[in-house]
Amino acid sequence: MDFDFLAAHATALPDKPALICGDRVLDYSTLLRRANRAANVLSGLGCREEDRVALMTFNSIDGSEIANGCRRAGLVIVPVNYRLRGPEIAYVLNDSGARVALAGPDHADAMAEASPHVNHEVRFVAIGDRVPTGWLGYGELMGNAAEQFDSASDGLGASMIYTSGTTGNPKGAWRPRGVDIANVLQVISIFELNQADVHLMCGPGYHSAVSFFSALHQVIGATIVVQPKFEADDALNLIERHRVTTTFMAPTLLQRLVDAQETRPRDTSSLRALILGAAPCPYALKVRAEAAFGQVLWEFYGATETGINTVLRPEDQLRKPGSCGTLVPGQEIRLARDDGTEAAVSEPGELMVRSAWQAEYFNRPDATSSSTHDGFFSVGDVAYRDEEGYLYICDRRIDMIISGGVNIYPAEVEAVLHAHPAVTDAAVIGVPDDQWGESVKAVVQLRPGDTVTDKDLIAFCSERLAGYKKPRSVDFVDELPRDAAGKLLKRKLRDVYWTGAGRKI
């Protein structure tokens, strides 16, 4: 099904605001022309269909026009987590084989730190006034580009979002054919989105759900209000000022939003769909959110690799505590016992998903294969189903930590801790945190005779990892629990901290 939604809206709704960021407004006609310019810029830099283009920036109008330009040129946008450091950024550029890397004004220095570690030719482009030596300036390139471009891609186009595995090495979850427009329209229908909506994009755009819900609203010709970085009071002011109707955020951001609204209420009566995902949302927070904003919460379960698999509607948020909803039509879910048979009602099993928009890992057929069983994809979550067909996530087979909706992989942090000269063994786990859901704790065994403080180890990690990955606390033990084969018994370690928490993730 061919659908050049941007061109269609530029024709039917030329003067309608497509993007609002601060005092800057871009209508659909202008957005199409700017996207065409971006497509011509990228093509002029040597990009051809299916080439990857890395983008590291806060939410912005520039970022949106670049993403649309990539779609129109048949290129694959690779959002880069702007909290990464030089070598971490270089890994993404190397693994994706990005031909062009663009960085916003706040991230050019971090991207520049990555360039010595990049193993292939990349054209670096700076968004903003300051252009590092050897880089190209986005403004100048756009000023010289033509406004006409014959779109090579329909719908949302191909995408690649980086997500890590248990080894801590990021993997590109990629859909070479993109998401079928029929699936896109289905999700729009499920969440009851429409052209009159005003959507607040407030979470980090490198998060798959943030970018996906923003793209959905452009598909239907809605208006997107862009908040560069989330700040709760500013978000509430934007909702009030622009009569925002929909938004997506992780539960951590919802908690900040509720806190701010309770402290100084704003008029949020326009809001009708506040969509939650990325991590479980505590029931007590849902109660507070409904009191603050009304019955507007939606929640879904999904993953970068599998898309949106279940949805919990507003009327079920308090009726079904702990549930992530019921199956989205067209999705198949198995809850498998250890022997591969289907788990019974109320019995936990490994959650496996099969659907038409399943991703694969870029250049990692081994990783794709190990996560796939008879066509069903697993990200390692364990869930059960009640008698009404509602699903509940109850545990995680892998040791990934989810803190504030962000995935943190213990092996990566453990590798840094092991590099410290005073450390002989280390384990990193997630422990209960009222604000973040989980926080990162390091449990460390020191070398005999050596001494080091918890602050020293946290600072050591901070110098080598993105800030959100570093341990928030460190405990010291005489010996870490391991079995006879030397395998670390993380479950035994975690139970010490999770006993009495009333939940397991």
Residue-wise pLDDT for 27-69, tens only, equals 999 999 999 999 999 999 999 999 999 999 999 999 999 999 9
Q: Tokens 């934007």 label which residue?
A: 238
Type and span of the H or E element at 489: none
Burial class, 458, CB count within 10 angstroms (exposed 0-12 / middle 13-18 / buried 19+): middle
Q: Using H for helix, E for strand and C for coil, what is the string for 441-487?
A: EEEEEECCCCCCCHHHHHHHHHCCCCHHHCCCEEEECCCCCECCCCC
Q: What is the pLDDT of residue 78?
A: 95
Q: Tokens 């099969």 label which residue?
A: 354
Beta strand pairing status for 381-385 and 391-396?
Answer: antiparallel
Which two structure tokens, joined as six digits, stand for 145?
Answer: 């580009």
Work out the widest C-alpha separation in the chain, in whole angstroms.
Answer: 74
Domain boundary (117, 138, 155) is at: 155
Q: What is the pLDDT of residue 164?
A: 56
Which two structure tokens, joined as six digits, stand for 504?
Answer: 């397991």
Q: What is the pLDDT of residue 12?
A: 97
- 387 assigned to some structural domain: no
Rg (CA), the chain: 23
3-state SS class at 239? helix
Q: Which domain holds residue 78?
A: 30-155
Domain boundary (106, 137, 155) is at: 155
- 77 assigned to some structural domain: yes
- 492 assigned to some structural domain: yes
- 294 assigned to some structural domain: no
Which two structure tokens, joined as six digits, stand for 47?
Answer: 């990009």
- 454 assigned to some structural domain: yes
Residue type (1 letter), 12: A
- 111 assigned to some structural domain: yes
Instruction: Provide the domain count of the chain.
Output: 2
- 449 assigned to some structural domain: yes
Q: What is the pLDDT of residue 166?
A: 40
Q: What angle do CA 175, 181, 182 make, to 5 degrees?
A: 115
Q: Tokens 């909506």 label which residue?
A: 197
Angstrom CA distances, 4 to 7, 14, 221, 320, 502, stand at: 6, 15, 12, 40, 49
Asked if residues 110 and 84 have their Cβ atoms less than 8 Å apart, the reply is yes
Residues ≥6 apart with Cβ < 8 Å to 146: 36, 37, 40
Can you give the CATH number for the domain in which 56 is found?
Answer: 3.40.50.980
Asked if residues 336 and 349 have their Cβ atoms less than 8 Å apart, the reply is yes
Can you give the CATH number for the domain in which 460 is found?
Answer: 3.30.300.30
Residue type (1 letter), 58: F
Q: Which residues of the chain have pLDDT under 70?
A: 1-2, 154-155, 164-168, 394-398, 482-487, 500-505
Domain boundary (87, 121, 155) is at: 155
Q: What is the pLDDT of residue 165?
A: 46
**Torsion sign, CA atoms 376, 378, 384, 390:** negative
- 313 assigned to some structural domain: no
Could you tell me what percentage of the chain is helix, strand and coil, using 3-state DSSP and rounding each to the nearest 5?
A: 30, 25, 40
